[in-house]
Amino acid sequence: LLKSAGIILPKAWTAVPADGGIINLPAILIVSFLTFLLVLGTKESATLNRILVFIKLGAVAVFLFLATPHVHALNWHPFLPYGLSGVATGAAIVFFAYIGFDAVSTAAEECKNPNRDIPIGIVGSLVVCTVLYIAVAAVLTGVVPYTSLNNSEPVAFALRAIGMNFGSALVALGAICGITTVLLVMIYGQTRVFLAMSRDGMIPRKLVKIHPQYGTPHVITVITGIIVCVLSGLLPINIIAELCNMGTLFAFCVVSIGVWVLRKTQPNVHRPFRCPAYKIVLPLAVLFCGYLIANLPIETFIFFGSWFAIGMVVYFSYSRHNSELAVKPTEISLRQ
């Protein structure tokens, strides 16, 4: 966006150390602003999210309107230049673009009718995103050869290539709004996960203390914001995306297995929403998620393994002994 406006900032303050800079200051400022909004309350952050979503959808519409007449079918040949293995590798990398639909469930307590709203929100967001992603990808690769899209702003680059500099600036603004909405939803979702964990005693309750005026878990929100600031300011975007993919895919596998186990061990529990055809859906979910994980770079496994080890230390040293849902041996003997 700044490049389209003719503004060039020093690389030292806009790039991470791995890319030749010192720190990504714009990323830190954006995360800090979103954290501040989330501390103020969900109403303020939801209003901003709606505005950003409209801008983002407008940018997508502008791109499709301006670029579609310039599509050349020859750019789609060969259609799969790297075969199915290339598709799998690409899917594993860009999976982060679909992350966020599960965050809808973290807002269940704030829905008027969660039994209806949550499934509609999850499925609806997936359908809309999939249609838009396919349309943008088709037009993008039809306008310019895919080999020229290996840069940080492929959509804006494609518009500049066909002489649409003004449209390029609008699309760049939409891209920033898109990333911002993802950050907003993910930070919000993570704080609500921490809130649920605190109720179980898996993390100290002081960390999720509710602010008396704003009614938000301000302490854990600020802590989460600081962690995100450090990661976004110092790590390359590809490393962050791959780690995010790995963690999310692994979590999906665990959730799928957990649903199967609970359906078998606790079949009579009241479930307002039941997974249809779970004997087919759940194994397929584990299979596909595992396949995408296998296509991630080896470095991602190393980073994820280190992060997972830290989580296990926290769990076995604190969470396991303080969880209110954990069944202790003495309780088992009393029941018997």
7 part of a folded domain: yes
Cβ atoms 139, 67 nearer than 8 A: yes
CA distances from 234 to 27, 102, 121, 135, 226 (A): 10, 27, 34, 33, 12
Q: 96 CB contacts (<8 Å, ≥6 apart)?
A: 241, 244, 245, 248
Are residues 35 and 54 both part of a single domain? yes
Question: Is the peptide bond between 17 and the residue preceding it cis, with omega within 30 degrees of 0?
Answer: no
Structure confidence at residue 106 (pLDDT): 65
Are residues 186 and 54 both part of a single domain? yes
Boundary residue ending a domain (217, 235, 253): 235
Neighbours of 37 (CB within 10 A): 21
Are residues 181 and 210 both part of a single domain? yes
Three-state DSSP at 287 gives helix
63 part of a folded domain: yes
The CA distance from 289 to 253, in Å, is 7
The CA distance from 187 to 183, in Å, is 6
Length of the chain: 336
Boundary residue ending a domain (215, 235, 255): 235
Three-state DSSP at 190 gives helix
The CA distance from 222 to 40, in Å, is 11
Check residue 211 and report its DSSP letter: P
Structure confidence at residue 330 (pLDDT): 46
Check residue 24 and report its DSSP letter: B
pTM of the model: 0.76
Structure confidence at residue 1 (pLDDT): 60
333 part of a folded domain: no
Structure confidence at residue 123 (pLDDT): 86
Are residues 213 and 288 both part of a single domain? no
Q: What is the CATH number of the domain that holds 99?
A: 1.20.1740.10
Structure confidence at residue 28 (pLDDT): 93
CA distances from 44 to 33, 121, 184, 189 (A): 12, 20, 11, 16
277 part of a folded domain: yes
Boundary residue ending a domain (202, 235, 268): 235
Structure confidence at residue 6 (pLDDT): 64
The boundaries of the domain holding residue 315 are 237-327
Extract the tokens encoding 63.
């791109």
Residues 17, 23, 26: CA angle, nearest 5 degrees: 135
Are residues 99 and 227 both part of a single domain? yes
- The mean pLDDT values, 10 residues at a time, for the chain of 336 residues are 67 86 90 91 77 85 91 91 86 78 69 78 86 92 89 82 80 80 83 86 87 88 94 88 88 93 88 83 94 89 92 91 66 42
